[in-house]
Amino acid sequence: MTQLSVRAPRAEGVTLCLFDGDAETRLPMARTGDEWVADAPPPGTRYGLRAHGEWAPERGLWFDPAKLLVDPRAVELDRPFTYSPALSAYGVDTAPLVPRAVMPGALPEVPLRPAHFKHGGLIYEVNVRGLTMLHPDVPQEQRGTVAALAHPAVLAHLEKLHVSAVELMPITAWIDERHLPPLGLANAWGYNPVVPMALDPRLCPGGVAELRETVAALHKRGIGVILDLVFNHTGESDILGPVLGFRGLDNAAYAHAPDGTLINDTGCGNTLDFANPAMRALTIATLRHFVQHCGVDGFRFDLATVMARGPGFATDAPIFAEIAADPWLADRIMIAEPWDIGPGGYQLGRFPPHWLEWNDRYRDDVRRFWRGDAGVGLLATRIAGSSDLFGKDCRSVNYLAAHDGFTLADTLAYEHRHNHANGEDNRDGHGENFSWNNGAEGPTDDPEVQARRAAFARAMLGTLFVSTGTIMLTAGDEFGRSQQGNNNAYAQDNAVTWVDWENRDRALEDHVAALAAWRAARDFAQFPDDGAWLALDGAPMDAARWEHPATSGFSWHAKSEAARSTGLKIDRAAPQAGPGVDEP
Active site residues: 302, 337
Helix (H) or strand (E) holding 227: strand 224-229
- How many Cα atoms within 13 Å fall on the side-chain side of residue 451? 4
Q: Are 331 and 295 in contact (CB under 8 A)?
A: no
Across 224-243, b (16+ Cβ under 10 Å) vs e yields bbbbbbbbbbbbbbeeebbb
Amino acid identity, residue 159? E
Distance CA 145, CA 293 (A): 19
d(CA 93, CA 77): 19
User: What DSSP character marks residue 149?
Assistant: G
Query: How are beta strands 13-20 and 46-52 bridged, if at all?
Result: antiparallel
Spatial CA neighbour of 80 closest among 72, 91, 70: 70
Letter string b/e over residues 3-33, b meaning 16 or more CB atoms within 10 A of that residue's CB? ebbbbbebbebbbbbbbeeeebeeeebeeee
For residues 426 and 374, what is the distance between their CA atoms, to the nearest angstrom?
28
Instruction: Give the whole-angstrom CA distance, residue 488 versus residue 2.
Output: 45
Strand order in the sheet with 35-39: 3-7, 35-39, 30-32
DSSP-derived 3-state class of residue 30: strand
Q: E-strand spans in 154-201?
A: 165-168
3-class secondary structure, 311: coil
Query: CB pairs under 8 A, 24+ apart, for 427-430?
Result: 428/488, 429/404, 429/405, 429/486, 429/487, 429/488, 430/404, 430/405, 430/487, 430/488
How many angstroms separate the CA atoms of 90 and 181, rounded?
21
| Cβ atoms 193, 494 nearer than 8 A | no
Alpha helices in 197-267 (DSSP H): 207-220, 246-249
